[in-house]
Structure 1
Amino acid sequence: MMKDKPDDLGYWAGWFAAFAIAAIFFIYIVWQNQTLRQIACDAGENDCFRQWMSALGGWAAMVVAIPTIIYLAKQVRDGDRHHRINAAFTHRRQRLLAASVSKYCITLKETTEYKLEFLSAENEEFRTDDVLDNVNHVLELLAATPLKVFENEIFTPTISVDFIVARIQRNKAKLDSQGSPELLDEEILHSLKINLAAVVRYADGIQRNCDAFLNETAAFVFNDELHD
């Protein structure tokens, strides 16, 4: 599909060149024709040609400058478009990652809140094996690779997922050492609930930062304008 003439630099450059050639040809004709020369110059003037060239110098400079300005403006526009396309490619994978992690954090948060509510029930005596299943489930959710990738590439939280996992694994080690038949030690239960609450805060913070990243990079999303 051909470009519109107003946007075609070659189209306008051709016209400027044509006008420049016509102007030079006109000056030559005037200079060669005695009658026209007398109209353009006084009889006593010796530097008539130089004066005319000086007078036309500003117009000639404008004729030369306009195509240059148009060309530079087109270069700036193309450079900006190229930058936006590169930025869109750069952010494409990260935006997909952020969108995926944001949804995943909703599941992580809701699941952990449910388990925390279960462990916070009053007048309940929890056996070790009952709690271990819940702990293992949370650890499986925290082991998801996208969480670490998001931390490494987009946002580094104050408390990392590895730190939280290490704390919960210490709780798990104490649970394993107790043995399944025994009732859960209150100190271990208290520590576990603190760590599960940290998981909820972590999931909430990561989700908010995912959404913030998606909003901040929305300008770099591919659209019809980039493909024109």
Structure 2
Amino acid sequence: MHVDKKEVLRYLGYRNQYIDSNLNNLIDESIEEIKAYIKPRYTFKMFDVEKYFNGIKLLESNLVLKGKDIKNHLKNSSKCAVFAATLGSVVDSKIRYYERINLTKALVLDACATAYIESFCDFAEKEIEKEANKLNLNITYRYSPGYGDLTIDIQGNILNMLDAYRKIGLTATEDFILIPRKSVTAFIGFQSKSIKRQHPSCRNCNKYSSCIYRKGGSYCGN
């Protein structure tokens, strides 16, 4: 996996500000250091989808995705891949350790870990895209609980359906927080290759109608 320093800075909240050499070096060191901690794993299953008046039903499962946003995201999809990914528990332990002795290092390491899990999800997404291509289909962007009106209280059902604890060591708290923390669950629709992909956040952007990225089937990352 490749992690772009610009992504780490974005997660740290930097927007074109001056970066001094100390922070620059700390980011470089943390990007390399965290490689020793991560144990990235993912799992996924594919389902046929059925639309109904206020959501999406994944056939041959007990999972119903309620909300107009996820329904709109999957409106052109005939199938849906449900996946979960994690960097493993050691990352959490190392961030907690640095929170006690060096808060700046902890914040940078946390941002690096976030960049790593996003990069790993990009990798998993490409693997899922290969499955869609076998069916002569393309994929949507991934859509996670917490986006729009898709609530996070379905995390437990997702993990149970994927047998995620046994397969990749991923579970959730009673408050639906994923453990390990640097983990993601998401839905990816399979749709016709003639349909351009649209990122879930694009619809709320004030540049939606004129965006050159969206017109090209991509998104800006903001």
TM-score where L is the length of structure 2: 0.24
The structure with more strand, counted as a fraction of residues: 2
Higher helix share: 1
User: Which structure's relative contact order is higher, taking Cα pairs within 8 Å and 6+ residues apart?
Assistant: 1
